[in-house]
Structure 1
Amino acid sequence: MSKETLKNFLKADAFEELKQIETDQDKELPQPAVQKSCPASPKLIDLVSADAFECGSMSILDSLKFRKSRRVFSEDTLTIEELSYLLWSAQGVKKIVNKGYATLRTVPSAGARHSFETYLAVLNVEGLENGIYRYLPLEHKLLFLYSDTDLADKLNSAVLNQKFVSNSAVTFIWSTIPYRMEWRYSVASAKLIAIDAGHVCENIYLAAESINAGTCAIAAYDQDQMDRLIGVDGNNEFTIYLAAVGKVK
């Protein structure tokens, strides 16, 4: 990508072009689903409801004061309540609107489009075997995808040997399904998806800080390896951002 192309991507010029485009929303084409479907006979894992959280008592002021990227984690296990809290903080659904075609969540998103799916590479979470999971925000449950005894090594390779990742309790892996945003915003979607990714990850930073955990966002990774790890096609859905989380040492 040339410097000029990068600058154009960051600017808001696409919104002028958008005025001249008939989007799929304008064409009254069906809206994409707000959540990927589950396979037949899914293995679902219950999470702690937001109404029952007892963790995360640190004030928002202190979370902001102490928030920073952390790459050193202890061997302490992350509890299922803490994982539930982190997932809800990053993508929790507060209200379903527009006849089920949009959601209002704990993070903002352009037009409430929420183009992301949240996958987890679990290495040290109470009651969960090491493997890959997907969060179902509508149900506030985890979908177990597969176990992998070599997950730490595969994860380390996929993040270009940023070794702190393989020492984490869990790594959040966000994919994007671009059409969720493109349906409404067409050529302006790339800018909006990138902005939305920042909203999601910052909530992880603040929530992790409030439970004596730490996180570090990751934008450098091998695209093909990471997409294979979470089982997406790399075109209609692909990895866009990661964050490794562990208890503070």
Structure 2
Amino acid sequence: MKRYEEHRNFLKSNFDEFKNIKTDKMKGVPQPTGFKNYDLSSDIIELPKVHKEIVKKLNIYDCINDRRSTRFYAEESMSLEELSYLLWATQGIAGNNKAGLTLRTVPCSGATHSFETYLFILSVEGVQSGVYRYLPFEHKLLSMYKLDEIGNKIDEITLDQPFVPNFAKKAAVIFAWSTTPYRSEWKFDVTAHKKILIDIGHVCQNLYLASESIKAGTCAIGIYDQKKIDELLELDGDDEFVIYLAAVGKKKE
């Protein structure tokens, strides 16, 4: 039981610990940027404007009730409009408050927003398969590079799936969320890490419900090769690393 204790304590409220910590924010350390820079000469894809008409199931009760982890996908591409909607639903910016903090479509502890969204695109209409990054402030896609044998690469990073082996490569797109922990650590110190895990759960649940609303299916993936996927996404594995994956595709009838 002793080896469980530390991690169980991590799950508990740590507010008393936080009260005794002088955070970097309190010390006057400048706040880290809430976004990742990119080369302005990069290949950028304009995403369609999100509109209500994309939604096929308007009843939120039905979306919650019908949501399931989907591991079998139709041989049908997703549209760019559908992908645009899913990106907006998971990390889209709806505005700013009076303090200048971004208001997104998902809740986040202290509005620290430590996540970046990467995509392994396999089958989206009008988009070449490859690796991309979502730019939430611009609502655009940044093309990182074409990935040869993308299905095999996805197999390599999502091995040992217990229910349906190799299902991920049959999806239309794989969402890969990274975290830059210091965005949250600056404000919450060592208590940030529990908050980051809670917040990524909000993001993935929005993906589930938004996918259901367009009659697509999602399956969250917690088993992946950390080193391989960080290398594929050109992340250092320390200051930024992948924290969660999810496969999305049209449901198989």
TM over 0.5: yes
Structure 2 unaligned runs (5+)?
none
Runs of 4+ in 1 over 6 A off after TM superposition: none
The answer to whether residue 205 in structure 2 is matched with residue 206 in structure 1 is no
Deviation by residue 1:115-171 (Cα, 9 ceiling, x = unmatched): 100000000001111111000100000010000121110111101154110000000
Q: Which residue of 1 aligns with 2:35?
A: 35
Matched residues, number: 246
Residue 111 to residue 97, structure 1, CA distance change in 2 (3 Å): same
The answer to whether residue 179 in structure 2 is matched with residue 157 in structure 1 is no
Q: Which residue of 2 aligns with 1:9?
A: 10
Structure 1 unaligned runs (5+)?
none
The answer to whether residue 158 in structure 2 is matched with residue 189 in structure 1 is no
Aligned residue runs from structure 1 range 75-224, under 5 A: 75-97=75-97, 100=100, 102-162=101-161, 163-224=166-227
Distance 1:112 1:26 in 2: 16
Distance 1:8 1:43 in 2: 45
Question: 3-state SS of the aligned residue for 1:16?
Answer: helix
Do the aligned residues in 2 keep the contact of 1:53 with 1:85 (CA within 8 Å)? Answer: no
Q: Which residue of 2 aligns with 1:234?
A: 237
Q: Aligned partner of 2:22: which letter?
A: E
Distance 1:232 1:48 in 2: 28
Q: Which residue of 2 aligns with 1:20?
A: 20
Distance 1:134 1:2 in 2: 38
Deviation by residue 1:40-87 (Cα, 9 ceiling, x = unmatched): 41111011112x352113121111111010100011000000000000
Give percent identity, aligned residues only: 50
The answer to whether residue 72 in structure 2 is matched with residue 69 in structure 1 is no
RMSD: 1.4
Q: CA deviation at 1:212?
A: 1.2
